[in-house]
Structure 1
Amino acid sequence: MKVIEEEIKIPKGYKAAAVSAGIKKENRLDMALIFSESPCVTAGTYTTNVVKAAPVLWDKEITASDTKARAIVVNSGVANACTGKEGMLYCEDTAKTLSEKFNILPKEVLVASTGVIGAQLPMDKIKSGIEKMVPDLKEEVSNFELASKAIMTTDTLPKKACVTLEIGGKEVTITGMCKGSGMIHPNMCTMLSFIITDLAISKNLLQKALSKNVDDTYNMISVDGDTSTNDTVLLLANGKAQNPEITEENEDYKAFEEALNYINETLAKKIASDGEGATALFEMTVKNAATKKDAKILSKSVITSNLTKAAIFGHDANWGRIICALGYSGVDFDPEVIDLYFESKAGKIDILKNGNATSYSEETATKILSEPYVKAVADMKNGKESATAWGCDLTYEYVKINADYRS
């Protein structure tokens, strides 16, 4: 697997476009289109919030069927959530408008929205945006860069990831883009992620790989503990790489799983590090827990603790907050045996040994916690399972952003 660090690479057969359709203020990019020259097998995971936005319901029906998709239309600014039957009709109308341009079925068009909940889509602007984007579709990196910006809401920067790998003697490319900054606590944030590949793979294995991977990536991040109505991850594979189709869990499948994990973990961490108002990415690893489930619960309990998040913002090695968060997680463990340390580019420092504070230097600890990427590791000494979760610090700016969100 080769990670594309700088300019992303576009998988064979895909084009993209973006436009300012007037949905947002100040003529900002607010619509994106991803299109495949050939039909794609699809996979998707979605919010577990009981309140699901209309696009989530539309896409779930498509990815659960044998329908092969050709396009994804995304708007930012309006979430099309809590919009009733009218919201569903607008999804269909959006899909139909695009489908007529390419003589395909509306059900071959996936849709996604993000933004303010409760407002109806301005369909005149949506349709006008589609009219403008279709002629601008290009298989160029610059177009995908614009698309990644168009799906943003309170994000401060676009989020992308790309890898190439060899499967069956053919070069395969996997490229992903996502948005997410607030209302981030996936249980599958407002989080949208779109991943495209030219891999040839069966639908059931594509879905299996995505569902499994989401649990260890997007579901292990949190910004504010709020699970969005619109969380959507879509994965499209059009087979244009012409590798022998993956139809069983062989070495090619494992190689794809590894590459997909890199894409999703990278995007997930970018969401966490760009949490609204955040100044630091906070990573919590729990190792030697009794079960994998315990390790996940424990690590996520820490990164969702507002007191711990505030301590990270203050560069304060207040380890008692971490122990407290571990303790109320619901997982049983012996606090008298735990080891805990912090680390970053500035170094590593042991904080606890067998449940007792070490004679660590507060000055050194503050230096380590002042980096933009801070890690904490807790050794539970209770088994062999590990898990990692990602969050961010809690700052004054978070409150300001969300107090002003609709104004």
Structure 2
Amino acid sequence: MKDIVGGVTAAKGFKAASCEANIKYKDRTDMAFVYSEIPCVCAGTFTTNVVKAACVQWDQQIVESGDPMQAVVINSGIANACTGKEGFDACIATAKAVEKTLGVDYKSVAVASTGVIGMQLPVDKLVMGVEKMSKTLDGSIEAGTAASKAIMTTDTVNKEIAVSFEIDGKTVTLGGMSKGSGMIHPNMCTMLAFLTTDISIDKSLLQEAVSDVVAETFNMITVDGDTSTNDTLLCMANGEAGNITIRSKGDEYVIFKKALLHVCRFLAKKMAADGEGASKLFEAKVVNAKTLEDARTLSRAIVGSNLSKAAIFGCDANFGRFLCAMGYSGAEFDQNDVELYFQSPNGRIEVFHKGVPLDFDENVALKIMKADEVTVYVDMNEGTEEATAWGCDLTYDYVKINADYRS
């Protein structure tokens, strides 16, 4: 497997477009279109929030139907959540606009929205956007990058990646883009993610691979503890690579799943690092836990604690905050088994050893914590399982951004 330049247009047969539809933003692109020249096998995961946006409900129908997916239309600025029948009708109108312009079945068109909750989408602008983008669909790397920028809200950078690998002597490509900066918390996060691949794979296996990988990546990030109404991850596979269709969990499936994990982990970490107002990527790695669920619970608790996040921002090696978060996480453990370290590209230092605080050099700890990426490393000494969670520090700017989000 190797990283290559690109995103959603890197795989064979995929095109993208973007445009300024003036849905909410007035000075930037705010609609994106991802399209496969042929129908795709699809898989998806969605928010666990009981309050689900209209677009989530629409996409769930497509994924669960077993029918193919051929296109996704995304808008930023307005979330189309808490909008009733009118919001669902906007999804249908968008999908039917694609059917009219490109001749694809509207039931194979997914839609996704991100932005302010409780506002109705301007359907006329959505339809005009679809008409405009249908004429500019392009398979270039640049078109994919432009699409990744059009789906941003409070994100400060676009997020995209592509990889290639070999299956049956054929070169297979997997690309993706995502957005997410605030209202990020499992399960899943305020995040949209779109993956495109030219592999040929059975739908049920694709769904299983996606669900497993999401549990290790997108469900292991948190920015602010809020689970969105709009979380959507869609993966489309059009089979254009020409490999023999993967129908069992053999070596080919393992290779694909490894690539999928790499892509999703990259995008998840990019979102965590780009948390609203963030200045650092905050990672928690828990090793030698009794169970995998304990490792995941503990690592998520560490990066999810506001006090821990504030300590990371202040470069304060206050290890008690991280132990406290572990203690209320719900995982059972003996604090007298725990070892806790701070590490970064600037070094590594142990500050707590099997129930006892260590006399450590505060200046060394400060240097370590001043790095742009800081890891809290915890050895539970109780088993063999491990997990990693990602978040960001809590800065003054987080409050500023969210205090005037609608303006």
Coarse TM-score class (shorter-chain normalised): over 0.9
How far off is 1:321 after superposition?
0.1
CA distance in 2, matches of 1:27, 1:187: 32
CA distance in 2, matches of 1:156, 1:328: 33
Contact 2:344 2:369 in 1 (8 A): yes
Query: Which AA in structure 2 matches 1:224?
Result: D
TM-score for both structures, normalised by structure 1:
0.98
CA distance in 2, matches of 1:210, 1:367: 39
TM-score for both structures, normalised by structure 2:
0.98
User: Bigger CA drift: 68-77 or 8-17?
Assistant: 8-17
Deviations 1:258-288 (A, max 9, x none): 0000000110000000000000001101111
How far off is 1:188 after superposition?
4.2
Contact 1:186 1:231 in 2 (8 A): no
User: Bigger CA drift: 184-193 or 364-373?
Assistant: 184-193
User: Bigger CA drift: 45-54 or 340-349?
Assistant: 340-349
How far off is 1:26 after superposition?
3.0
Query: Which AA in structure 2 matches 1:207?
Result: Q
Partner-residue secondary structure (3-state), 1:196: strand
Show the counterpart of 1:365: 365
User: Are 1:385 and 2:361 an aligned pair?
Assistant: no
Contact 2:6 2:160 in 1 (8 A): no
Contact 1:49 1:227 in 2 (8 A): yes
User: Are 1:332 and 2:332 an aligned pair?
Assistant: yes
Matches within 5 A, 1:112-127: 112-127=112-127
Contact 2:6 2:145 in 1 (8 A): no
Query: Which AA in structure 1 matches 2:72?
Result: I
Show the counterpart of 2:154: 154
Pair 7,202 (structure 1): closer, same or farther in 2 beyond 3 Å: closer
User: Are 1:58 and 2:76 an aligned pair?
Assistant: no
Query: Which AA in structure 2 matches 1:385?
Result: E
Matches within 5 A, 1:117-266: 117-266=117-266
Deviations 1:7-65 (A, max 9, x none): 55610000000001111333211000001001100000000000000000000010011
How far off is 1:102 after superposition?
1.7
Contact 2:24 2:77 in 1 (8 A): yes
Contact 1:69 1:108 in 2 (8 A): yes
Query: Which AA in structure 1 matches 2:93?
Result: D
Show the counterpart of 1:274: 274
Unaligned 5+ segments in structure 1 are none
CA distance in 1, matches of 2:87, 2:45: 20
CA distance in 1, matches of 2:339, 2:362: 17
Partner-residue secondary structure (3-state), 1:178: strand
CA distance in 2, matches of 1:361, 1:404: 41
Unaligned 5+ segments in structure 2 are none
Partner-residue secondary structure (3-state), 2:135: helix
Deviations 1:152-188 (A, max 9, x none): 0000000011110000110000001000000000314
CA distance in 2, matches of 1:188, 1:394: 20
Show the counterpart of 2:352: 352
Pair 7,92 (structure 1): closer, same or farther in 2 beyond 3 Å: closer
Show the counterpart of 1:80: 80
Among all aligned residue pairs of Structure 1 and Structure 2, give the percentage whose two residues are the same amino acid: 55
How far off is 1:151 after superposition?
0.3
Deviations 1:308-353 (A, max 9, x none): 0000000010100001001111111111121111111111111111
Number of equivalenced pairs: 406
User: Bigger CA drift: 325-334 or 393-402?
Assistant: 325-334
Q: Which runs of 4+ in 1 moved over 6 A?
A: none
Partner-residue secondary structure (3-state), 2:176: strand
Query: Which AA in structure 2 matches 1:280?
Result: K
